Amino acid sequence: MIGFRFSKYDKPDQTPFERLFDIFKQLLTYTSGDVGEAISWLTELDKEYQLTTPDYGIGDFIQELKDRGYLRDDNPQEGSMVITAKTEQAIRSQALEKIFGKLKKGKSGNHSTKYTGTGDEQGSDLRPFQFGDSLDQISMLESMKNAQVNNGISDDFRITENDLEVREKEHKTQTSTVLMIDISHSMILYGEDRITPAKNVAMASSRINKTQVP
């Protein structure tokens, strides 16, 4: 018998490298790009939470970072390493997704959201015509098919508002950002880390400037 069988969707697991790399990028933000300190923290986290496996350890992760171009040796004699421009881009992208990835629907702009509505790019979803929809959104093929089904084919063929279907557009919301960072002692007072969120906003803004409004 032909039919459909539905089962629970399990999100694909991250690879060991991807899982560690997400944490490593966060640690680099906290340490202001200090690779040695970030790896030291990652090692301590691994001891406490068993982030690695017998088949893939911290040493393997560091080597893969070098192989993929995320790290390079700074002073081979001392064993020090520094991040590359590729890592900086990855950190900015992560910050951008963290800051702007869950924007609410608002006025039309150039930041993608999960909502449909006024935008530049047409999607694949169709819906009935509503007052206020632009004419360029109307799907003529689907609307003509609806008119034939609803009204039949005759010499007085007609199409009504109820026959119209429109194609959804990807909604982009508008945002204006003014960045002011307080670097006084209160930003780290009483053991609270207030400077890292400020870094994330700065890096997200930098990523927007480099990719969308250079």
**What pLDDT is attached to residue 197?**
87
Range of the domain at 75: 16-83
Same domain, 78 and 20: yes
Length of the chain: 214
- Alpha helical stretches, state H, 136-176: 140-151
Tokens representing residue 155 in the block: 């010499």
Task: Calculate mean pLDDT across residues 166-178.
Answer: 71
Regarding predicted confidence, which is higher, 172 or 168? Answer: 168
pLDDT reading at 36 higher than 90: yes
Mapping DSSP to helix (H, G, I), strand (E, B) and coil, where does residue 92 land?
A: helix
pLDDT reading at 141 higher than 80: yes
204: in domain:
no
Q: Model pTM?
A: 0.57
Task: Calculate mean pLDDT across residues 135-155.
Answer: 80
d(CA 148, CA 22): 54
136: in domain:
yes
Q: How many domains, the chain?
A: 2
pLDDT band at 37 (very low <50, low <70, confident <90, very high): very high
Question: pLDDT digits over 180-195, tens only?
Answer: 788 888 888 887 888 8
pLDDT reading at 125 higher than 70: yes
198: in domain:
no
63: in domain:
yes
